[in-house]
Chain A
């Protein structure tokens, strides 16, 4: 008898069952059964990012968290092969012990979303949320070298490989990264790891207006000093209390931070040169290593907007735009909505916490963002808000149609995470 039917009440849709797969074969069978029964599946690891996207019309959950093995870790080859359900925290500890890291600084969304777990490797790739070093080292898409996955045809396929330099066939890894589980269920991935820098130095400028800070970051990123992160925390009435930024930031004051990494002598030398370059913007102070790392972790994880903090009930947007347009876009948005902002990526990434409103200020956010050729994702909002507002940025009709054809080429019956990306598909 078809045990899936006994496990999952496909008829009424009222029972949500979780199917904990043990291997890629299980994934294939679950997906095939779902196809046969024309019932969509929600794919989860630890569920840490489950609240991102639209509510899904699924009544069965495919849980990959038991696919948690480290298949191979070869520090000298700068690669690690992992099953998709491997806990991110464990993997980070493993590679840290060899003084290596994921250079794209994956965002830990747990504080922002108020979830307990850090999530899995599969979730890290499927969400593709990269931290401050995105501007220098690329994103998750740049570090995914190969994958084994089960498509919505119920077939296991592989793409890419276990080497950095590879142009054999279409680079389907790029599509899987950031696809939010709508193309395939990844079962195993090979990722690039990179050596951790020996030292880090962060220059801090205080009291800059957003426009001046944007200019300072542009100057720094256009310098030969190999700046690996550039962020700006505007003066904020909302950050007056505990903001997760530790002692580095005077409460609520504006802070512009620029990071230099590498061997100790080089980082220190470049910090000196950059300080001179930035003299027109004020006298920069310096923090080192541990203090610097703590600041950048707080910016990466958007701690000032943490779910447990004062702005925990506010919707949060993640806006990507041309870096030099950041301040103009951000200040306008903050003025219009009364919201609070954090700029990263030299102005190319804006985290915007906006006062609660049924539409989360979507029309203003999208209009301002479109005007500069950017895009905005409603990363945190109550479910009723996400019912009425597009979480992911609406695309031009031609791109939307092509994207839908691409999606259907992996999953023609829309079995995987149906309705997560677009409201209309619900």
Chain B
């Protein structure tokens, strides 16, 4: 493994059987798993290149149990890694050898559906899709739709601030959650927010969302639900040049149109997807845009016309407009299957997740082509074009010596390029362990220290999910130390009023 995890605490490992017994006293029956064979299922998340069986797995089914487990671990100085469905693509739920893996899979109940306040109160182990399904009979849905929505848990979505195809128009998880019940590492149970639009005081919900399981363990979530748009139609537009496709995206936004989704694929991705699902994608284009408009029929029809005109003006070479749900779904089928499709043409692939300003797209794709040459590895690009979120899929073969290292170096260079072009390291997959060591490319030590001080406010011992997100671990006392700005400060001659 290229990424170093914090050194294991041998004293903790030596007490393993005692710890397992103590956890069994809190979570009875099958809720504590300590056999290596059974723990295999938990040794990795969606970032499968990294594996590590935990010291022990605990699957509590009440908030009280979560609290007692954390309180015990805090008192004993034992690390804890929380886990939802284990679909993280950044290694956020990678276990630690000397840590308790705390699975929230038994929190599977939707606690309340409140149509009048347009919210659902749910336990964290409920899948993203199950929330939409539970309210579909009344025409509602939960808007964020990460591609793993059939499996990923809403608790994991909150931890990672998950996005999805439709977040350009409907926002990410953070824009769609109102409150939570959270258990701190100390075992303290807190309720934040509720069914109102805003929380009192500092926006703790806002900072917990996307905190990658480092601040607390969420045991209940209140999410906003929306009425489903009346209809949706999609355009599938091909371009001979990537630049023209980028220009088309910019002009659509510039015209004041915010599509429900706007996706781009480059030639290798188009070919892989077409070979897999036969969606009728044009094979002679360099870039393909799938643009979905949703809303009332009258609006969708009008916007389709406008977008079609913009695409024409940008020199599109092919354009199909869906006239039925079946056709719209077919347009999407290739895009949605892009990852498995790439999996068919390459033994292994790494999925990257940088975001760039939309205008930097041609530059970014050119750089990726150069890097592809340099590292002698193929790369297919799918792209949430509307919000600049790039997903290069780096093709490699783990069985060939040195390829995984080359692929990782290639990926790191892509993410550095994203930062160089004014973007960020991760748009929706999270930092986890995958991008942890690149944080210094985007943030200064001062920036990172401020973030880690916040961590200290929630978890002063640093026991919750250590080794993730931050490249260097600091003691809270060290982070909290004030600079000694000794006596004589040169002070500028500020205008005085």
Contacts and interface: CB of A to CB of B under 8 A. Distances in A.
Interface string A189-215: 000001110100000000000000000
B401 interface: no
B38 interface: no
B253 A163 contact: no
Nearest to B390: A165
Interface in A157-188: 157-159, 161-175, 177-179, 183
The listed residue with most B CB atoms (<10 A of its CB), out of A7, A78, A139, A224, is A224
B207 A76 contact: no
A280 interface: no
A196 B496 CA distance: 40
Interface in B425-461: 425-431, 435, 439, 442-444, 446-451, 453-458
B167 A165 contact: yes
Contacts of B427: 163, 165-167
Contacts of A19: 494, 496
Interface stretch (A249-257, A300-308, A407-415): A407-415
A253 to B, nearest CB: 26
Contacts of A408: 457
Contacts of B478: none
Contact of B453 (A20, A225, A409): A409
A139 B439 CA distance: 28
Nearest to A399: B190
Interface string A372-407: 011100000000000000001101101110110111
A349 to B, nearest CB: 7
A336 to B, nearest CB: 21
Contacts, number: 316
A400 B191 CA distance: 11
A29 B423 CA distance: 30
Contacts of A348: 196-197
A109 interface: no
Contact of B496 (A20, A66, A325): A20
B456 A409 contact: yes
Contact of A320 (B161, B198, B256): B198
Given A165-B388, A165-B389, A266 B197 contact: no
A117 interface: no
Contacts of B389: 165
A167 B210 contact: yes
B197 A349 contact: yes
Interface string A235-246: 000000000000
Contacts of B172: 165, 167
Interface residues on A, range: 35 or more
A76 B359 contact: yes
B296 A266 contact: yes
Contacts of A374: 194, 196
Interface string B358-400: 1100000000000000000000000010011100000000000
A226 interface: yes
Interface in B244-259: 250-251, 253-254, 256-258
Contact of B423 (A21, A163, A323, A398): A163
Nearest to B192: A399
B204 interface: yes
Nearest to A17: B496
A29 B482 contact: no
Interface string B140-176: 1000000000000000000011010001100110110
B13 to A, nearest CB: 30
B356 A163 contact: yes
Interface string B451-481: 1011111100000000001000000000010
A265 B296 CA distance: 10
B497 A20 contact: yes
B106 interface: no
Contacts of A321: 196
Interface string B106-134: 00000000111110000000000000000
B340 interface: no
B426 A168 contact: yes
B175 A406 contact: no
B439 A410 contact: no
A142 interface: yes
B424 interface: yes
Contact of B202 (A32, A138, A165, A179): A179
A184 B250 CA distance: 35
B31 interface: no
Contacts of A138: 171, 175
B30 interface: no
Contacts of B458: 402, 405
Contact of A171 (B209, B227, B229, B425): B209
Contacts of B425: 168
Contacts of A77: 253, 357-359
A167 B207 CA distance: 11
B28 interface: no
A76 B358 contact: yes
B29 interface: no
A43 interface: no
A170 B451 contact: yes
The listed residue with most B CB atoms (<10 A of its CB), out of A165, A270, A325, is A165
A331 interface: no
Given A167-B160, A263-B303, A222 B118 contact: yes
Interface string A18-61: 11111001100110110110000000000000000000000000
A407 B453 CA distance: 10
Contact of B229 (A1, A63, A224, A323): A224
Nearest to A1: B488
A36 B204 contact: no
A278 interface: no
10 contacts: A21-B494, A157-B446, A159-B450, A159-B451, A163-B356, A175-B207, A224-B229, A320-B197, A323-B117, A402-B190
Interface of A: 1-4, 7, 17-22, 25-26, 29-30, 32-33, 35-36, 63, 66, 74-79, 99, 134-135, 138-139, 141-142, 151, 153-159, 161-175, 177-179, 183, 194-196, 198, 218, 221-226, 262-263, 265-266, 269-270, 273, 320-325, 345, 348-349, 373-375, 392-393, 395-396, 398-400, 402-403, 405-410, 412-413, 421
Q: Enumerate the 7 nearest inter-chain pairs by beta-carbon distance, A residue then B residue, closest first.
A: A174-B206, A195-B256, A266-B299, A375-B200, A322-B195, A405-B457, A3-B491
Given A75-B254, A134-B198, A323-B118, 17 more contacts: A76-B359, A134-B197, A142-B175, A151-B450, A157-B444, A157-B449, A163-B422, A165-B167, A167-B430, A171-B210, A263-B299, A266-B295, A324-B116, A375-B196, A403-B201, A405-B456, A405-B457
